[in-house]
A and B are shown apart, each in its own frame.
Chain A
Amino acid sequence: NAGVTQTPKFRILKIGQSMTLQCTQDMNHNYMYWYRQDPGMGLKLIYYSVGAGITDKGEVPNGYNVSRSTTEDFPLRLELAAPSQTSVYFCASSRIDTQYFGPGTRLTVL
């Protein structure tokens, strides 16, 4: 039981490039989330999903897109990377009321 896995662990992008952050959970959780973590700011919710085919915006969705075609996977897409998207990104999943987190992806946009 791997829990929540994220790839890649690290990535450097140039301004304007695009990329997809992958997130997979093997706990059969309906709810999944994407957060970004910036120093001194805690975690901010980007997008979340309550099940396959259903997604919704969180607190800071601008510049990101998500999809949820299966229960297991919840990829986060950055279309035109900007320096403001330099951050650590965490994926989480939840069945009812407790979220479990992946190890994170550290993204730098130069």
Chain B
Amino acid sequence: GAGVSQTPSNKVTEKGKYVELRCDPISGHTALYWYRQSLGQGPEFLIYFQGTGAADDSGLPNDRFFAVRPEGSVSTLKIQRTERGDSAVYLCASSPVTGTEQFFGPGTRLTVL
């Protein structure tokens, strides 16, 4: 069956621009997670959703980062006024319910010039 998909696979933007990264979880999975992975590092937790609500957003680095999941399926990670330090691979994962195995997508590589 279809796994977690993320679009775009690559995004190049200029400093100061706004970007949206999309995650399509596995159908029926109620929990959805966003992570950021810098080169040579492990994934860093950003936020997770249980259904439509953000259950824990303690990993969002600052108020330029925001994520939504309005219908409890697709999620969008939004980054305002991008900075060069935001360059990383943004990973999305979903699980059937919170606390069970997370299935990761391939990530979106964001480059801020």
A and B are partners in one complex rather than unrelated chains: no
